[in-house]
Chains A and B, each alone.
Chain A
Amino acid sequence: MRVGPGPYLLVAAILFTVGATGVMLRRNALVMFMCVELMLNAVNLTFVTFSRQLDDIGGQVYVFFVLVVAAAEVAVGLAIIVAIFRRRQGATADDLNLLKG
């Protein structure tokens, strides 16, 4: 049985929405970070779906780029979060307003 792109895209949309809502609503920096990953992977899923649908390998190539960038981002982001944990109790995003203008 051949499944069309619809369900895949629906799952991707749900994942993206969950991620986006998480970034906006959660206060814990670590959780926000995970939500960002969720959004990235939702996008990856759409890339792959359309790659299959349009028979174009370019989409899958892009997924690799996104994965690499996400890995790098994780490395930097986690380092920052660890640094924050070391300096203060907890990592609540709302308390981190040193850059207030």
Chain B
Amino acid sequence: MSAHDVLDLAWIIPALPLAGAVLLLLFGSRMREPGPGMLATLMMGGSFAWSLVTLATLWSLDSEERLHVVKLFDWIPAGSLEVSASLLIDPLSVTMILFVTGVGALIHLYAVGYMHGDPRFSRFFLYLNLFAASMLILVLGGSFPLIFLGWEGVGLCSYLLISFWFERDSAAVAGKKAFVTNRVGDFGFLLAMFLIFAHLGTLEVVPALEGASHLAEGTATAIALLFFLGAMGKSAQLPLHVWLPDAMEGPTPVSALIHAATMVTAGVYLVVRTHPFFEMSAVAGDVVAWVGVLTAFVAASIALVHNDIKRVLAYSTISQLGYMFMAAGVGAYTAAMFHMVTHAFFKALLFLGAGSVIHGLHGEQDMRRMGGLRKYMPWTARTFIVAWLAIAGMVPLAGFWSKDEILAAVWVRDDYALWLVGAATALMTAFYMTRQVRMVFDGERRPADGEAPATPHESPPTMVFPLVALAGLTVVGGLLNLPFTSLAFLGKWLEPVLEGVHEVHVDSFGLGFALSTVAVIVGVVGIGLAYRMYATVTDTDPVRARLGSAATFLERGWRFDWVYETLIVAPGRRFLEWASKHFDLGIVDGAVNGIARALQLGGEETRKLQTGHVRRYAFAVFAGTTLLLAFVLIRARVVI
């Protein structure tokens, strides 16, 4: 088989999890407990294996030839609109599928242990597999409608999985919130597609991207910003980030898979995929970068004061996504992708670690009620510490290299304001992660008042193995793109995709070294501060004590929810209540009931004609006949 024949089989990658979902839909309820989980994990494993084959095949080609479109069938042939169901295989999409399937498979395996005993065990894996299939379609899609199909698919699965424990009111509400917020972004994606079709006459990705350079700048800016609106919804950027913290109502593997490692990176992927539009525009990039860095800053500041172990990680995710957008905004697409991959490793690890802690403490999520878990859960603690150091940007873990590359790219572009905010965010990141580790793993156990301290237990092997595997990836992940030109694998690998982009690099070793040193110092300061302040955890939180009333402001997420509540939700509710009272009850119901009432009254009156007297009927017949006869005769001028 030639290389292209192998690449043509790439449809296997999304088809396997999709088949898993279908099988679970049909037979899931008849399987016994580990069965559905194992099936789903196996499908993801197979998908990962084929992704590796695809990677190897693509690798074997010359770098100019690393673009292959697999046309499966004509999807929507309608006049001048021709949309194909095709898969786009290039280094960018292959990078994405590798970590989606790889991290996905590990999380599936972890979930087998985590969801043990859940009454809807098989349905959970059905959703997970459906999610993975949608995500892979999103990433591999060769036409914008197909990408949109995957885009909506992950949104749907996200909704289903957030509200998986729908008996809890908060979970149901959180799922709805995520779905509605995402719709705002989807609207941007749709409009961007319409604009592309109107100006370029095609919805296939490759010709559309090639045509981008012929567009007027205004059009390109509009398309880019609309795509970015879509990305903001999916990737939880300011001000559409509000759904992500609430999404933590879902089971922890969901938080790890969807709301940390894969789905939320779809927005970054979209921006990188459609970068020709952003390159054509003068302002779009700046908008992306500033939205990104502000999101990073705001989310990190919120994470400083939260006490829920998963919420801290949720805000941390928003913050790290902000970094990725900052990188994409300044044109450092490789750095954005690099951070996306390393973040997928360490954030999935953090979430799975948090899940392991929650599992070990039988559902406790409040960090004030934890402490001292290092003794009880050695493997969880060790792997969590690796992830903590990585996200704090410590040498030589993955997070250091990727975050450093983003900050360096910003510096070289002379965007010092961006750099400063980014560095401040890095400081806060190191701080809140250290705070979390100190509160969860160090010190003494702090069970709730009056509660018998249940002994925490280490999680089962199916949960620990993914932790260890991800920790390994977190340690070596930085090797993907070391900042020395000859070792920048990822940069070289993505080069054909980013053709024509002038990526900035640190060209002097001295400057690079200085920037890295500053970044590490910032991280160490953050860690050191938190380490001292949280040497012993008491009921008065030192950060809160120092921030005073600002802490409440931060805890309420800069009051974004309040603003939405006052500006949109409350007026909307008032309007709808008015409409339901006056329009629905008055006009709609009024029309329906009015017609019924008129008929009823008419019936009441006409029934009186029906006397039951045969002779009256006979009289009516005669009278009528006579009248008709008279009429006809007069018309015919026989009489008169």
| A residues adjacent to B (C-beta < 8 A) | 20, 23-25, 27, 32, 93-94, 96-101
Contact = CB atoms under 8 A, between A and B. Distances in A.
B622 interface: yes
Nearest to A27: B615
A101 B614 contact: no
A67 to B, nearest CB: 22
A24 B619 contact: yes
Nearest to A93: B614
A20 B620 CA distance: 12
Nearest to B603: A101
B618 A100 contact: no
Contacts of B615: 23-25, 27, 32, 93-94
Given A100-B610, A101-B612, 11 more contacts: A20-B622, A23-B615, A23-B618, A24-B615, A25-B615, A27-B615, A93-B615, A96-B614, A97-B612, A101-B606, A101-B609
Interface in B257-284: none
Contact of A100 (B606, B612, B619, B622): B612
Contact of B611 (A20, A27, A97): A97
Contacts of B606: 101
Interface string B600-640: 00000011111111110011001000000000000000000
Nearest to A101: B610
A94 to B, nearest CB: 6
Interface residues of B, number: 13
Contacts of A27: 615
Contact of B622 (A24, A94, A96): A24
Q: Which of B607, B610, B611, B614 has the most CB of A within 10 A?
A: B614
B622 A93 contact: no
A93 B613 CA distance: 7
Contacts of A32: 614-615, 618
A101 B611 CA distance: 6
A64 to B, nearest CB: 24
Nearest to B604: A101
List the 9 closest pairs (A to B, CB-CB), nearest first: A101-B610, A97-B612, A100-B612, A101-B607, A99-B612, A23-B618, A93-B614, A24-B619, A24-B618
A98 B610 CA distance: 11
29 contacts: A20-B622, A23-B615, A24-B615, A24-B618, A24-B622, A25-B615, A27-B615, A32-B614, A32-B615, A32-B618, A93-B614, A93-B615, A94-B613, A94-B615, A96-B612, A96-B614, A97-B611, A97-B612, A97-B613, A100-B610, A100-B611, A100-B612, A101-B606, A101-B607, A101-B608, A101-B609, A101-B610, A101-B611, A101-B612
A20 B626 CA distance: 12
A99 to B, nearest CB: 5
Contacts of B619: 24
Contacts of A20: 622
A100 to B, nearest CB: 3
A100 B618 CA distance: 15
Nearest to A94: B613
Nearest to A96: B614
A94 B611 CA distance: 10
A1 B291 CA distance: 119
A96 to B, nearest CB: 7
Contacts of B613: 93-94, 97
A98 B612 CA distance: 6
B628 to A, nearest CB: 15
A57 B609 CA distance: 43
A101 B612 CA distance: 7
A20 B606 CA distance: 26
B600 to A, nearest CB: 14
B388 to A, nearest CB: 86
